[in-house]
Amino acid sequence: MTERLTIALAQCNPVVGDVAGNIERIRAIRDACSGVDLIVFSELVVSGYPPEDLVLKPFFQDKVEAAVAELAKETGAGKPALLVTAPWRENGKVYNAVLLLDGGTIAAKRFKHDLPNYGVFDEKRVFASGPMPGPINFRDVRLGVPICEDIWKADVAECLQESGAEILLVPNGSPFETEKHHERQMHAVARVTETGLPLVYVNQVGGQDELVFDGGSFVLNSDCSLAVQAPPWREATVVTEWRRAAAGGWRCEGGEIAPPPDGLEAIYNAMMLGLRDYVRKNGFPGIVIGMSGGIDSALSAAVAVDALGSENVHAVMMPSPYTSRDSLEDAEEAAKLMSIRYDVVGIEPAMKAFEAMLEPIFAGRPPDTTEENIQARTRGILLMGISNKFGSMLLTTGNKSEMAVGYATLYGDMSGGYSVLKDVYKTDVFKLSHWRNRQRPDSALGPAGRIIPERIITKPPSAELKPNQTDQDSLPPYDALDDILRCLIEGEMGLAEITGRGHDAATVQRVWRMLDLAEYKRRQAPPGVKITRRAFGRDRRYPITNAFRKIL
């Protein structure tokens, strides 16, 4: 009877669609783990996660299956066995599968039973639900291999325990959101408590479009004690030693326990990793950003510098006659503190040209937001021109508060390929800016110390599209606005609940109306890092044409 096992947790960063590259990542991890019995990978590591409609293409599935078959042949001759995950065809259906590769063959297959179909998840669209799984026999040890969502309820783990599983090995593709790591561990603790079995949780790391996977893989022993925890935000392979206890159960020997993602540091790291991988995986040489002298562009630039390095960030200030001297000075100082390229391109000539071109049509009508929007769209044209000429991706700088209420110009400041602040409320933009001036993340490529000028953080926010303008001319104070928005978006609360928190009913109704009317803008916004439980996009799907305009 097997008395000892060595199991490696492979917390890696696959690229969706790069089957050959992902297989090479698996091989590199395997070759670095000599002497290990089994290596466990995260969910759908062969295809990358989430692959979405790629799995509906038969020729993509052909590539996956051929690559897995070749990898399986390489597991003979004393090499570690591999517990890999891939979309897999069986009897005319496609499953989210975990595959044991051992002894030169695909030794066992199990399919995900509980397919998530909420929030950002849409697995029922592309996968069939597998039957309740039984354990896999490996070296005379019965391994239960539920996949991700399978442990968020009790039935799959209970079925595995009843059919003789001794250890639960769980591949996961669980994206970051605030407080998510704690939630994962609570579900894992519940399954361990119910089954009496130790549990290995292997999570993906890296950015994939709007999702960021934070890693933080861990092992719980059967007494729910935390034996091992991998670091968040980076790839890691953690080797664990297991012994069979006298009573017959298995126990993992204690190892390193890295601190989990938490607070503002976690949000900043998520933004940084999401941007880094979006730029890297899509082949951009760097980013260009409109530097206004305001806090949103300054924080976005800071994240970009930390994610990509100063040499890969190009800031452009585009002043108008309404741009204050403070903004000009603050933008230039921020660029110097971040050591990034900084150019100034004034937009007044374009403003005058548009005014002359439109004068015959606009005759007799006073200036209004039309002229303000033309300024924003002029800046968008300039930035997209620079992006096209040099190949750098335009980074959008709008935050969640602005996008919620439509305080942004379509085809203007909304132009761009990606946003790091898309799911960050304005009040958190201030907090994150203070935090970054005090701390530099471990993986950051930017300079230490203060990189956002203090006046940028303390001055009243303004779009500076007309004289003496501030955001509060047309919006409630951000403390109140953000609390109302959280109630409406994350909480789905009604009027009575929100006014019970001290908000004026007319203000709540006004914010709800702005939120609802701006849906058409958000549909056309670039992707951005998911931070909260309900980011705009697949998390929150509201109709554009919508007559439900009043909170009851």
- From first CA to last CA, the distance across the chain in angstroms is 66
Domain 4-249: CATH superfamily, name plus number: Carbon-nitrogen hydrolase (3.60.110.10)
Q: Would the pLDDT of 272 be above 70?
A: yes
Per-domain residue ranges for the chain?
4-249, 264-522
Please check whether residue 13 is in contact with residue 233, taking contact to mean a CB–CB distance below 8 angstroms.
no
* Active-site amino acid positions: 43, 112, 148
* pLDDT score for 296: 95
Q: What are phi and psi of 478, to 5 degrees?
A: -65, -30
Q: Give backbone dihedrals phi and psi of 329, rounded to 5 degrees, phi first.
A: -70, -40
pLDDT on residue 260: 86
pLDDT (tens digit per residue) in 158-190: 999 999 999 999 999 999 999 889 999 999 999
Mean pLDDT within 430-453: 95
pLDDT (0 to 100) of residue 464: 59
Most confident among 74-83, 311-320, 365-374 (mean pLDDT)? 311-320
pTM reported for the whole predicted model: 0.93
Residue 444 has pLDDT above 70, yes or no: yes
Tell me which architecture the domain covering 264-522 has in CATH. 3-Layer(aba) Sandwich (3.40)
Q: How many Å apart are CA 278 and CA 35, to the nearest integer?
A: 35
Whether residue 17 is predicted with pLDDT greater than 80 in this model: the reply is yes
Is the confidence at residue 552, as pLDDT, over 60? no
In contact, 47 and 64? CB cutoff 8 Å: yes
CATH fold match for the domains 4-249 and 264-522: no
pLDDT-above-90 percentage for the chain = 86
Please determine, for residue 467, whether its predicted confidence score (pLDDT) is greater than 80: no
Per the prediction, the chain carries an average pLDDT of 93
Looking at the predicted structure, is the pLDDT value of residue 124 above 70? yes
pLDDT single digits (tens) 44-103:
999 999 999 999 999 999 999 999 999 999 998 778 999 999 999 999 999 999 999 999
Q: How confident is the model at residue 537 (pLDDT cuts 50, 70, 90)?
A: confident
Question: pLDDT tens, 381-401?
Answer: 999 999 999 999 999 999 999
Mean pLDDT of 307-327: 95
- Is the pLDDT score of 485 beyond 60? yes
195 contact partners, CB below 8 Å, separation of at least 6: 157, 158, 160, 161, 165, 168
Task: Work out the pLDDT band at 543, boundaries 50, 70, 90.
Answer: confident
Q: Does the pLDDT of residue 453 top 90, yes or no?
A: yes
Residue partners of 84: CB distance under 8 A and separation at least 6: 26, 41, 45, 46, 68, 71, 98, 99, 101
